[in-house]
Structure 1
Amino acid sequence: MKLSKALKNSLWAIAITIISILAVFPFFWMLLVSLKTRVLTYDPSVWFFKPTLENYIAVFQQRHLLFFAKNSFIVVISTTVLSLLLGSMAAYGFARFSFKRREDWAFWILSLRMLPPMATVIPFFILARFTNLLDTYLILILAYMTFNIPFSIWMMRGFFEEIPV
């Protein structure tokens, strides 16, 4: 039995609407909870309340948010710049130069993306402890670069191969 095109489109629209509501609802719920007082936070049945910004004020005044944001910016910017710099040089080499076992090396780099990040936690901890890098930006940047550089090499290699010589 064939469904009419209008019925099919309606069913798709209903399905997409339901999925969208399910995807957006947790964010809506977090926003509602963040605007409640501490007492009302634990009562999920309260949908109508007087919103307050005291939670946001507390975060900015008492939680050293700027200190944590500064740490994040240092790590993110350093990781991004170094990953792009090193990744672009390696990707250019893979795209433009012929060398022995080039495709094997490219596959090896791709296989690093398949490595579960948790498999590197203990080796990174041992490395950080022996080199006195515990609680430093450098070890965190190196950990992020372990997974960012193979990704940037793999992505940029395709772009460099498309540039006409």
Structure 2
Amino acid sequence: MVNRSVGAPRVVLARALVYLALLAVVAVSLFPIYFALTTSLKQTRDAFTTPPTWIFTPTLEHHRFIWLETPFPRYLFNTLVITIGTVLLSIPLGCMAAYYLARYRSRPIQVLLFSLLAVRAFPRILLLVPFFLVARAAQLYDTHILIILIIAAFNQPFAIWLMRGFFLDVPRELPEAAMIDGCSSFQAFRRVVLPVVRPGVFTAALFTFLFAYNEFLYCLILTGSDAKPLSVAIAQYGAEKIEYWSWSAAGAVGILAPIVLFIAVMQRHLVKGLTFGTLKG
């Protein structure tokens, strides 16, 4: 009883220190977002005063300018086309490949898995010039399909490795029982296995969405005016004139909004996917 009473303050102190450390990390992580949001809502003369202006009258002028007087909506449309196209291409192919690699285990399968890992680790910048020459030769430069294919190719090893872990947690007897009941191998995969690993599929889709949404290098080199996404276009809002930085802050908030909305919608599936297979009943 005495030991418990002595150890209790130490436990409370340790938890308090952990919570303070987590709070500090959250504050540091959210401060750039707070700074961009407040800068986008300030008048230009109040945005960069020294000391900072904490109390101000909000204005939506910079947001109005970004959305109504610049091609920002078109850049957002290009970003969504590239991102959604990458997810729709990468996830179905990754699901089927991951299921096969999880169901059949042999030495060639292990070699293939590590080959995929090597592709993921390969420096992407080394392939930039070959992709540029191929895009010019195939007349695919500055098109959505080119960027979708490239991002999906680079993302595929990650998607396969991630979803393979979820498929490994599915008992082999489950699809086998479905095939005994008359399902083909593909029907067992689609009707029985996929619903079980749905949280994992949503998790892989979320990471693929973020990977495609934030792609910069290949979009910078392989797009012009037609397929330019927000990750590249946002740079044009920053310049020497101070009002450009307020526009850049408004653009940063505009870029962040679809990500926040998507994660808010997918949060429940993300939590399930990250904890899938951790508890064995």
Give me the TM-score of the superposition, normalised by structure 2: 0.53
Structure 2 Cα separation of the partners of residues 162 and 7 of structure 1: 39
Q: 1:48 and 1:158 mapped to 2: Cα distance?
A: 50
Instruction: State the identity as a percent.
Output: 32
1:4 corresponds to which residue? Answer: 10
1:113-156 CA distances to partner (integer Å, 9 max, x unpaired)? 22233333222212212222111112111221122211121122
Question: 1:44-66 deviations in whole A, cap 9, x for unaligned?
Answer: 52222211111111111112232
**Any residues of structure 2 matched to 1:58-77 within 5 Å, and which?**
58-77=65-84
Give the alignment of 1:18-37 within 5 angstroms. 18-37=24-43
Structure 1 Cα separation of the partners of residues 45 and 119 of structure 2:
48
**In the alignment, what sits opposite 2:124?**
117
Change (3 A) 1:91 1:20: closer
Unaligned runs of 5+ in 1: none
Aligned to 2:161: 154
Between the aligned partners of 2:159 and 2:74, the Cα distance in structure 1 is: 29
Q: CA RMSD in A?
A: 2.2
Structure 2: how far apart are the matches of 1:114 and 1:28?
34
Q: Secondary structure at the match of 1:135?
A: coil
Counterpart selection for 1:101 from 101, 108, 127: 108
Residue by residue over 1:88-126, the C-alpha shift from the partner in whole angstroms, topping out at 9 and shown as x without a partner, is 222222223466612101110122222233333222212
Summarize deviations over 1:9-50 as a string: whole Å, max 9, x none. 333333233222222222111111011112222325222221
Give the partner amino acid of 2:81: I
Distance 1:39 1:12 in 2: 40
Aligned residues: 164
Instruction: Tell me the SS of whatever aligns to 1:86.
Output: helix
* 1:42 aligns to 2:48 (yes or no): yes
Give SS of 1:101's match. Answer: helix
Residues 99, 21 of structure 1: CA spacing in aligned structure 2 closer, same or farther, 3 A cutoff?
closer
CA distance in 2: counterparts of 1:9 and 1:67, whole angstroms: 48
Cα gap change, 1:90 to 1:10, in 2 (>3 Å): closer
Q: Structure 2 regions of 5+ residues with no counterpart? A: 1-6, 174-281
Measured in 2, the distance between the counterparts of 1:39 and 1:17 equals 32
CA distance in 1, matches of 2:19, 2:58: 33
CA distance 1:21–1:81, change in 2 (3 Å): same
TM, length-normalised to structure 1 = 0.85
